[in-house]
């Protein structure tokens, strides 16, 4: 099936922005009339009252004004049924009729793993994320989360620093990301080639229930959901339950039975709604992939300056060019050459802060 015409895409946008039109009505209209455009060009005289009201409200909507707002906010959109609409998300029972986004939509063509957790992250979650995200990126996954404080923010930051692609699904509109404290992170996601999504039209206020509804998008577009930590009543747990209902793989790290932050993840495991995992290998085994260590196990042994640089980065973490230069006593020209070769051979990488780290 071919992609939608521009005429049909605009008609679906108009329909999706009409008050009272949810996904059930949206799909029913398209099924009955063959397209949104066909419905909107009917005179409606023989329609039942409910359809007649929808037709009248849709045709009164100032679509030009809506398109102007999108352009002013540098926001694009995709509608349900479009080829670029995430395939897995389209399979759930209540997908958004329209998604508004900023960034690179091509990221959504990758397999997606969502990682969620608590709003106040612990050292335990931070350790988990530091170890698991590099492997997931090597597996060519895009990493999604909700850009909230705590675990969400660390997920996005670590993915960017590991040169991966990340997806932020917001409970607010993409032109007014929340929380405000994550504005810098928001910019970093876009600058690194990621994408920010929301079903809320730009300039609209956050409404009651918008954040729980955001969780169904996180669960729906994903191949799997990983829970690092979660309380018994948390957004992370809602996302995990939704993913289970959508027949996605759900994984959880076990935690201390005496800590409230571990109660939700432990409960998922107890109810057999999530598989207990300890590392990325457990995830990869379930998904039929290989870990980062296995991928790089046959690399050639390093010698000379390259070995010195690599061991320095393994021991010291992210290090600036000047610091490496001072430590190795190489000339700047020689160091640039060695770093370039090490990057090409995937021994090291350079993050968005222009610091170098060893891959393993």
User: Residues 264, 230: contact at Cβ < 8 Å?
Assistant: yes
CATH topology of domain 105-293: Rossmann fold (3.40.50)
Please give the pLDDT value at position 258. 83
Please give the pLDDT value at position 210. 75
Distances from the Cα of 41 to the Cαs of 12, 18, 44, 59, 269, in angstroms? 13, 15, 9, 9, 52
The pLDDT tens digits of the residues spanning 188-209 come to 999 999 999 999 999 887 766 7
**Average pLDDT, integer, range 293-321:** 81
| pLDDT band, residue 293 (cuts 50/70/90) | low
Please give the pLDDT value at position 178. 84
Give the residue extent of every domain in the chain.
1-61, 105-293, 304-358
**Average pLDDT, integer, range 302-319:** 88
Which among 15, 49, 53, 7 is positioned nearest to 31, based on CA atoms?
Answer: 15
Please give the pLDDT value at position 2. 56
The percentage of residues in the chain with a pLDDT greater than 70, rounded to a whole number, is: 95
List the strands of the sheet with 142-145, edge to edge.
76-79, 98-103, 195-198, 166-169, 142-145, 112-116, 224-227, 249-252, 275-276
| pLDDT band, residue 336 (cuts 50/70/90) | very high
Please give the pLDDT value at position 1. 46
| pLDDT band, residue 51 (cuts 50/70/90) | very high
Mean of per-residue pLDDT scores for the chain: 91
Please check whether the two domains, 105-293 and 304-358, share a CATH topology: no
**Interatomic CA distance for residues 220 and 90, integer angstroms:** 8
User: What's the sign of the alpha-carbon dihedral 162, 319, 350, 295?
Assistant: negative
The pLDDT tens digits of the residues spanning 89-139 come to 999 999 999 999 999 999 999 999 999 999 888 899 999 999 999 989 988
User: Which H or E element spans position 101?
Assistant: strand 98-103
CATH topology of domain 304-358: Arc Repressor Mutant, subunit A (1.10.10)
Residue 249 DSSP label? E
Strands 249-252 and 275-276 turn out to be parallel
Planar angle of CA 188, 194, 195, nearest 5 degrees: 105
């Amino acid at each position: 099936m071919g992609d939608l015409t521009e005429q049909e895409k605009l008609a679906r946008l108009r329909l999706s922005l009409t008050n009272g039109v949810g996904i059930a009505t949206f799909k029913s209209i398209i099924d009955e009339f063959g397209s949104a455009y066909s419905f909107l060009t009917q005179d409606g005289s023989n329609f039942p009252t409910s359809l007649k009201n929808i037709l009248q409200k849709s045709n009164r909507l100032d679509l030009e004004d809506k398109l102007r707002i999108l352009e002013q906010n540098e926001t694009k959109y995709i509608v349900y049924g479009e080829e670029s609409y995430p395939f897995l998300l389209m399979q759930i029972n209540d997908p958004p009729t329209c998604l508004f986004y900023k960034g690179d939509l091509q990221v959504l063509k990758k397999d997606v793993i969502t990682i969620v957790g608590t709003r106040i992250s612990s050292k335990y979650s931070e350790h988990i994320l530091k170890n698991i995200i590099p492997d997931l990126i090597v597996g060519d996954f895009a990493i999604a989360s909700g850009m909230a404080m705590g675990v969400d923010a660390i997920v996005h930051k670590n993915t960017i620093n590991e040169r991966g692609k990340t997806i932020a699904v917001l409970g607010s509109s993409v032109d007014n990301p929340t929380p405000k404290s994550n504005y810098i992170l928001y910019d970093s996601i876009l600058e690194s080639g990621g994408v920010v999504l929301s079903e809320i039209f730009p300039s609209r206020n956050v409404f009651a229930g918008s954040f729980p509804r955001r969780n169904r998008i996180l669960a729906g577009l994903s191949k799997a959901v990983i829970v690092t930590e979660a309380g018994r009543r948390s957004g992370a747990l809602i996302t995990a339950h939704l993913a289970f209902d959508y027949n996605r793989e759900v994984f959880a790290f076990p935690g201390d039975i005496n800590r409230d932050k571990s109660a939700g993840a432990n409960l998922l495991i107890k109810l057999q709604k999530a598989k207990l995992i300890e590392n990325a290998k457990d995830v990869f085994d379930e998904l039929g992939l290989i870990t980062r260590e296995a991928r790089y196990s046959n690399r050639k042994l390093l010698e000379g300056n390259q070995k010195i640089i690599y061991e320095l980065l393994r021991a010291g973490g992210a290090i600036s060019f000047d610091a490496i230069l001072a430590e190795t006593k190489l000339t700047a020209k020689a160091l640039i050459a060695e770093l370039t070769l090490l990057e090409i051979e995937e021994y090291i990488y350079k993050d968005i802060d222009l610091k170098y780290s060893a891959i393993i």
